[in-house]
Amino acid sequence: MKKLRSIFILLAGWFLLQGLHAQDDKVLIYRINIKENIGSNTWIYLQNGLHEALQKDARVVLLHMNTYGGSVLEADSMRTAILNYPLPIYVFIDNNAASAGALISTACDSIFMRKSASIGAATVVDGTDGAKAPDKYQSYMRAIMRATAESHGKVITIELEDTLTRWKRDPIIAEAMVDEKVVVPGYADSTQILTLTASQAMELGYCDGVAESLHELIVTHLSYPDYRLETYNPTFYDQIRGFLTNGVVQALLIMLIIGGIYFELHSPGIGFPTAIAITAAILYFTPLYLTGYAQNWEMLLFVLGIILIVFELFVVPGFGVIGITGIILVILALILALIGNIRFNFEGLPTTEIFRAIMIVLGGMGLSVSLILYLSSRIGKPGILNKAALHADQEGFISVPMQPATMVGQMGKAATVLRPSGKVIIDGSYYDAVSLRGFIEKDEAVVVKKYENSQLYVDRK
């Protein structure tokens, strides 16, 4: 009985090894799903999927696409990655490849479509109301579409002993998907943006084949009857990283960083604004650092800029070179963290990536100014910011006397840290005060130097 059991185990192990060996002999087709709006998520999925396909020694990468479009900036990054990839990348349009999806599809080595699928309508629109963007954006998109189509080169055919040369992917068709002024006779006149069905795309040579399933595509058109299909599956971390690297979210984080720093510098002690600024900075830099965009020196540049701004505000009188340098370093660090530069070498970086980084940072700064103005106007008024202002009826505190000018020259001590504003105790009573020179620590002896605009100004004794 024991011998029979041993033989059975050996046979089972042999069959298992044979099965694994047979799996290894099959051609690996690696699939990446592009089935949502083009944005930071899909860009991360594509990067990770292309990396894994190389690691697993895939023969072909297959994009399984169904999208209505999305961000042009991420789409441009995706098409650049596809054009520079060492393995062949094919796209299977499983219903829609509109707008940014059309650009990404055009970048692929071959385009395959389901019979009911369509491709085109790549006009740039405003992200808020869907209106057509100004012509300068259309011009840029036309150039990208044309360059992408031209990158596939030309093919040579011989007909009746005549040698004919034609584009593998006609640039005119690519342009017509963006600009209605580009006419494709029989398919789009001067009033229509070009959108092609699968049969029309085949007629114009823009599509390489029609299939109703991935299996049909792989077996019939790619000629891999014995294949193994693996799919890139995004992790929860990928989704979080995609959310945090979204341009709108990054602009909001910049708003919280700058707003938090501003309000902390104008309030005594370290509190809620500091927590907000630190949390926002961590959420801003961490995903960029993990993806290799933000380098250590760029984050140190940001910290150094903050230190210079604080030093200028509270140590050096006025606001000059040190403060301006600090602001420049902060802005520079925020921009450099968004682009894949190596130190200050920008060779090979797409112009769109630099433009995107600048616009995100400027947008975040604009939002922070709006936030500061709004919250500053609400302090002390009914609502959640009511307690952020000092009131005369606060227990333990009194308002400034009607004639505080008589207190000039009197001695006291700091009741709180003066940064530069805070509280002082004089003759057992609490008063609002402002330090004339830098920070004054709690319990440090002070002397009243002057009274201006209903405000006491003190200095160290």
Tell me how far apart the alpha carbons of residues 273 and 361 are, in angstroms, rounded to a whole number. 20
Q: What whole-number percentage of the chain has pLDDT above 90?
A: 30
Amino acid at 242: G
| Of residues 36, 103, 75, the one with CA closest to residue 352 | 75
Range 97-103 average pLDDT: 93
Range 410-421 average pLDDT: 84
Q: Report residue 13's pLDDT band, with 50, 70 and 90 as the boundaries.
A: low
Alpha helices of 70-220 — where are they, by DSSP H?
Answer: 72-83, 100-107, 135-150, 171-176, 198-203, 214-216
Confidence at residue 288, expressed as pLDDT on a 0 to 100 scale: 80
Least confident piece of the model among 95-99, 255-259, 263-267: 263-267
Residue 452, Cβ neighbours under 10 Å: how many?
9
Whether residue 314 is predicted with pLDDT greater than 90 in this model: the reply is no
Confidence at residue 152, expressed as pLDDT on a 0 to 100 scale: 93
Least confident piece of the model among 69-73, 133-137, 145-149, 422-426: 133-137
Least confident piece of the model among 53-57, 266-270, 385-389: 385-389
3-state secondary structure of 429: strand
| Of residues 459, 461, 454, the one with CA closest to residue 431 | 454
Structure tokens at 230: 């693996």
| Of residues 26, 24, 6, the one with CA closest to residue 14 | 6
Q: Where are the beta strands (DSSP E) in 39-120?
A: 60-67, 89-98, 110-113, 118-120
* Cα angle 385, 387, 389; round to 5: 90
Confidence at residue 21, expressed as pLDDT on a 0 to 100 scale: 46
Confidence at residue 379, expressed as pLDDT on a 0 to 100 scale: 55
Range 344-350 average pLDDT: 66
Amino acid at 88: P
3-state secondary structure of 36: coil
Q: What whole-number percentage of the chain has pLDDT above 70?
A: 80
What is the residue-averaged pLDDT of the chain?
Answer: 81
Alpha carbon 309 to its chain centroid, in Å, reads 27
DSSP string, 378-398: HTTSSSTTGGGS--TT-TT--
> Domains (ranges, CATH) in the chain?
23-234 (3.90.226.10), 243-387 (no CATH), 390-460 (2.40.50.140)
Tell me how far apart the alpha carbons of residues 415 and 426 are, in angstroms, rounded to a whole number. 10
Tell me how far apart the alpha carbons of residues 460 and 404 are, in angstroms, rounded to a whole number. 19
| Whole-structure pTM value | 0.65
Q: Where are the beta strands (DSSP E) in 338-420?
A: 411-414
Tell me how far apart the alpha carbons of residues 433 and 439 are, in angstroms, rounded to a whole number. 12
Range 325-336 average pLDDT: 87
Range 6-32 average pLDDT: 64
- The DSSP element (H or E) to which 301 belongs, if any, is helix 296-314
Burial of 24 (0-12, 13-18, 19+ CB in 10 A): exposed
Whether residue 20 is predicted with pLDDT greater than 50 in this model: the reply is no
3-state secondary structure of 129: coil
Is residue 129 within 8 Å of residue 234, measured between CB atoms? Answer: no
Least confident piece of the model among 77-81, 159-163, 378-382, 445-449: 378-382
Confidence at residue 88, expressed as pLDDT on a 0 to 100 scale: 95
Whether residue 66 is predicted with pLDDT greater than 60 in this model: the reply is yes
Whether residue 158 is predicted with pLDDT greater than 50 in this model: the reply is yes
Question: pLDDT tens across 33-54, in order?
Answer: 999 889 888 988 999 999 999 9
Range 3-26 average pLDDT: 56
Confidence at residue 87, expressed as pLDDT on a 0 to 100 scale: 94
Residue 431 or residue 211, greater confidence: 211
Question: pLDDT tens across 295-305, in order?
Answer: 788 889 888 98
Confidence at residue 341, expressed as pLDDT on a 0 to 100 scale: 66
186: left (phi over 0), alpha (psi -120 to 50) or beta: left
Least confident piece of the model among 12-21, 44-53, 62-71, 264-273: 12-21
Task: Evaluate the CA torsion angle 338, 340, 346, 350 in order and state its sign.
Answer: negative
Q: What are phi and psi of 426, to 5 degrees?
A: -130, 120
